Amino acid sequence: MIKSLYVRIVLTFLAAVVVSLFLSLLLIVRLFETRIIGYVQNEMIANGKDIIQSYIGSYPEHSELLAKGIAVTATVNFYGSNGQMLHKDVMPADKRIAVDTEKIDFVLNGGVYRGKAPDDAFVVGLPFQIGGERFALFTEPEIGPFMRLIGNFFRIELLFVLIIGSVFILIAAVFIVRPLKRLTDATRRMSKGDFGIVIRSKRKDEIGQLTRSFNLMAQELGALEKTRQQFVSNVSHEIQSPLTSIKGFTKALKHKKMDEEKRLQLLSIIEEETERLSRLGEDLLQLSSLEYEHLELNLRAYRLDEQLRKAVIALEPQWTQKSLRIELELASLDIVADEDRIYQLWINLLGNAIKFTDACGEIRLVAGQQGETAVVSVQDTGAGIPEGQLDAIFQPFYKVDLSRTSAVPGNGIGLSIVKRIVGLHQGDIQVTSAPGEGTTFRITLPLAPPSGKM
């Protein structure tokens, strides 16, 4: 089995060249035989008839003299009825045409002989009679050897074309395969974790497009690797922080003597950190399941406005504790979606708005219909998000104000889950915010089920 692309390209080109040359040779030979040889033979027959008329007129007294004169400018042989060559004494050796007895007899019996390639293509034999006696004339043009030389020249030329073309194919194949070898080497480097590879290419053809696609893939894989490393780092940090607290307080409970009030306080902190770890695990599992490529949504029709009211009621202990004012402006909307996952979306968004809105603030929840979509906006009067950080808030573990992470519970995964749920439903989420002016999340969901989901 041939594994080298270089060898395959060379063999393919050589096969194409050989087949092309073979077909070209057949075409040239066919053209040479049907057109050139036929044309020359027709001219020879016409000239041979004129010579026969002259020979008949000079026979027998001056026929030998005529034959001698003709031999000066042309190659013409005469044969008698006995098949023997006439006027042999006055015919130079180089003017004698090599014909066998069979051909002579054929012409003496009245046939017109036309030579065939490659041996005697330019030999013509004509019959004639004088006084009832049969004669044969064989003629060959002076250009006969030259024409045969031309035919051989064409064959040699095609052979040279094959040799020279093969050399150029060998060289051209090197330039074709070279960038592919560079891509292969770069792929090996990438498989070992080197994503900083950039292959320079000025080509505009398919190989150039492949090179540019490879560079783009390397760039995206590099960004993905950085994201993965950051994700692992964030997960490690989020897990390590409560574990450190649990470990420290457990040692304190084990080795220090303390009153019941202090002991209960430390146990409460350990319980909170344990719940924090549990929430982190649940969020990571949910985010992982949402990222699964073949995730199937459980679509059904339900009232979106009722689901939003249910989410507000479920979070009532949180917003009443901060004395927040909740304003609802909900139109009656029927939607086809995965009810459980969409409910989780509202819980995360509203929970975020409650966490980052100061006491006695306001949260406004509006739902309506625009064309074939449902539009829901969640607006709060919280601290807001700087414009430069709006694109990053949907990244896992991203927290806008790191100084508030200890005061505000959460691990920064909620908005990542929200964005993935919206994407699974072929919807859209937009956020507008400014420091000190609050934040508004605007979610658009199709009323009909996403294509191919039902």
Residue 301 shares a structural domain with residue 284: no
Residue 232 shares a structural domain with residue 326: no
What's the mean pLDDT in 193-211?
78
Write down the pLDDT at residue 294. Answer: 52
Which has more confidence, 96 or 376? 376
Binned at pLDDT 50, 70 and 90, residue 374 comes out as: very high
Is 300 domain-assigned? yes
| 146-150, 258-262, 353-357: the lowest-pLDDT one | 146-150
Which has more confidence, 227 or 324? 324
Whether the Cβ atoms of residue 363 and residue 350 lie closer than 8 Å to each other? yes
Write down the pLDDT at residue 106. Answer: 93
Binned at pLDDT 50, 70 and 90, residue 31 comes out as: low
Write down the pLDDT at residue 396. Answer: 60
Is 172 domain-assigned? no
Residue 302 shares a structural domain with residue 434: yes
Domain end point (choices 253, 268, 288) = 288
Residue 300 shares a structural domain with residue 412: yes
**Burial (CB count <10 Å: 0-12, 13-18, 19+), residue 245:** middle
Identify the CATH number of the domain in which residue 252 sits: 1.10.287.130
Domain end point (choices 147, 174, 193) = 147
Write down the pLDDT at residue 369. Answer: 92
Provide, rounded to the nearest whole percent, the portion of the chain with pLDDT above 70.
Answer: 79
Write down the pLDDT at residue 213. Answer: 86
| Average predicted confidence (pLDDT) for the chain | 79
Distances (CA, A) of 140 to 25, 100, 113, 115, 147: 26, 15, 12, 10, 12
- pLDDT tens profile 237-280: 667 767 777 887 787 777 767 777 777 887 887 887 787 677 66
Residue 260 shares a structural domain with residue 308: no
Residue 348: is its pLDDT beyond 90?
no
Write down the pLDDT at residue 404. Answer: 42
Is 278 domain-assigned? yes
Residue 402: is its pLDDT beyond 80?
no
Residue 432: is its pLDDT beyond 50?
yes
SS3 per residue for the chain: CCCCHHHHHHHHHHHHHHHHHHHHHHHHHHHHHHHHHHHHHHHHHHHHHHHHHHHHHHCCCCHHHHHHHHHHHCEEEEECCCCCEECHHHCCHHHCCCCCHHHHHHHHCCCCEECCCCCCCCCEEEEEEECCEEEEEEEECCCHHHHHHHHHHHHHHHHHHHHHHHHHHHHHHHHHHHHHHHHHHHHHHHHCCCCCCCCCCCCCCHHHHHHHHHHHHHHHHHHHHHHHHHHHHHHHHHHHHHHHHHHHHHHHHHHCCCCHHHHHHHHHHHHHHHHHHHHHHHHHHHHHHHCCCCCCCCEEEEEHHHHHHHHHHHCHHHHHHCCCEEEEEECCCEEEEEHHHHHHHHHHHHHHHHHCCCCCCEEEEEEEEECCEEEEEEEECCCCCCHHHHHHCCCCCCCCCHHHCCCCCCCCCHHHHHHHHHHHCCCEEEEEECCCCCEEEEEEEECCCCCCCC
Write down the pLDDT at residue 406. Answer: 44
Write down the pLDDT at residue 151. Answer: 64
Tell me the β-bridge partners of 94.
Answer: none
Domain end point (choices 112, 129, 147) = 147
d(CA 271, CA 69): 132
Write down the pLDDT at residue 304. Answer: 93
Binned at pLDDT 50, 70 and 90, residue 403 comes out as: very low
Residue 58: is its pLDDT beyond 50?
yes
Residue 134 shares a structural domain with residue 14: yes
Residue found under tokens 């692992």: 232
pTM of structure: 0.47
Write down the pLDDT at residue 227. Answer: 65
Write down the pLDDT at residue 180. Answer: 75
Distances (CA, A) of 263 to 131, 247, 260, 272, 273: 151, 15, 5, 14, 16
Which has more confidence, 15 or 326? 326
The size of the chain, in residues, is 454
d(CA 253, CA 265): 11
Residue 128 shares a structural domain with residue 264: no
Distances (CA, A) of 229 to 179, 182, 224, 234, 395: 32, 28, 9, 9, 13
Residue 270 shares a structural domain with residue 321: no
Provide, rounded to the nearest whole percent, the portion of the chain with pLDDT above 90.
Answer: 20
Residue 267 shares a structural domain with residue 235: yes
Residue 302 shares a structural domain with residue 258: no
What are φ and ψ of residue 129, in 5° steps?
A: -130, 145
Identify the CATH number of the domain in which residue 307 sits: 3.30.565.10
Is 342 domain-assigned? yes
Residue 371: is its pLDDT beyond 70?
yes
Is 357 domain-assigned? yes
Residue 321 shares a structural domain with residue 231: no
Segments forming the whole domain that contains residue 33: 5-147
Write down the pLDDT at residue 405. Answer: 40
Residue 230 shares a structural domain with residue 344: no
Residue 44: is its pLDDT beyond 90?
no
Structural domain total, the chain: 3
Write down the pLDDT at residue 407. Answer: 47
Is 175 domain-assigned? no
Binned at pLDDT 50, 70 and 90, residue 397 comes out as: low
